Amino acid sequence: MKFILLFLFILSFFYSFSFQNQNQNQNLNLKNSRFVEDFYSVSFLNDIKNIPFLNDSNFKVENFTSFDGTIYECFIPEKIGKTNTETNKETNKETKQNEITIPFIDKCFLAQSEENGWSYEVCYKKEVRQFKQVYGFIEWINSLGKFTKDEFTFKDNKIQITQYYESGTFCPEINKPRSLKVNYICLEEENYEEVSQILDTFIISIQETQTCTYEIIIASKFLCDINENTTINENLPFIEIQCFKIGNIFN
């Protein structure tokens, strides 16, 4: 199936890391920290008194500025020995998977099918939509599903991310909602020379495998250097960083 690529919204910068706060996402630039090679999580606290290891001398203090100008003072424990507890294994695995997918966060990828005239919009970990345009106006929109889960596997020693989207627009033909599977794979540039000179990530295939059940393949340069030996090292030390707000550069 051939596709005409409509457009791809790409930001000029990718966030170094994203960390989940209780109420919102905070993005800190840790690029210059020596801890970027370790697995870690960041907790944002309202009060310095809540930091449990303040009396422990085995930590350092660094200030970081988020992309909205908020300044945080962060307490970073010194590395302890390697650990292989089940909790840390799972946390390390999840952290590394999040690191791999940073280039796709808050991105949407679009393409149009030459065969049926439908356009497709894939918004990473959010929703996939199908729509038609007539004279520049959107005539019809179907949701093909909202994100439910993802899986990380390897094929030919290359990582592949499979995402599942459920609960799309109701399909009368099968009497249930539409659903979709999205596969992110390594971009083989020799097969898409012209497009790959402009874009790092784009849709290469859209299929309706069964009535109202779809599969989309997205190829990305960002996945090509990741193999089974380099993706996840479960025995790396895990570091918990505690931060609290101390000001804003714009105030």
Give me the tens of pLDDT residue by residue for the chain, a chain 251 residues long: 443 333 333 222 223 333 333 333 334 443 333 333 445 566 777 665 555 555 555 778 888 877 677 888 888 776 554 444 455 555 556 666 777 888 888 889 988 877 777 889 999 999 999 988 777 777 788 999 999 999 988 888 888 999 999 999 999 999 999 999 999 998 887 777 777 778 888 898 999 999 999 999 999 988 887 766 654 444 445 567 778 888 888 77
pLDDT at 239: 67
Q: How far apart are CA 174 and CA 193, in angstroms?
A: 39
DSSP conformational letter for 49: G
Model pLDDT, residue 106: 85
Three-state DSSP class for 97? helix
* Number of residues written out for the chain: 251
Contacts of 11 (CB under 8 A, 6+ apart): 106, 107
CATH topology of domain 3-10+103-223: Cation-dependent Mannose-6-phosphate Receptor; Chain A (2.70.130)
Please report the pLDDT score of residue 17 as a whole number: 32
Say how far apart CA 187 and CA 175 lie, in whole Å. 36
Tell me the backbone φ, ψ of residue 16, rounded to 5 degrees: -65, -50
Nearest Cα to Cα of residue 229 among 159, 152, 151, 150: 159
pLDDT at 212: 94
The set of residues, in sequence order, having a beta carbon less than 8 Å from that of 223 and lying 6+ positions away, is 100, 158, 159, 160, 161, 184, 185, 186, 187
What pLDDT, on a 0 to 100 scale, did the predictor assign at position 50?
A: 54
Long-range contact list for 66-70, CB < 8 A, 24+ apart?
Answer: 66/26, 66/27, 66/28, 66/29, 67/15, 67/27, 67/29, 68/248, 69/248, 69/249, 69/250, 70/26, 70/245, 70/247, 70/248
In the chain, which segments carry CATH 2.70.130.10?
3-10+103-223
- Tokens read off for 204: 């290469």
Which pair of structure tokens corresponds to residue 109?
A: 């990828």
pTM reported for the whole predicted model: 0.56
Q: What is the pLDDT of residue 105?
A: 85
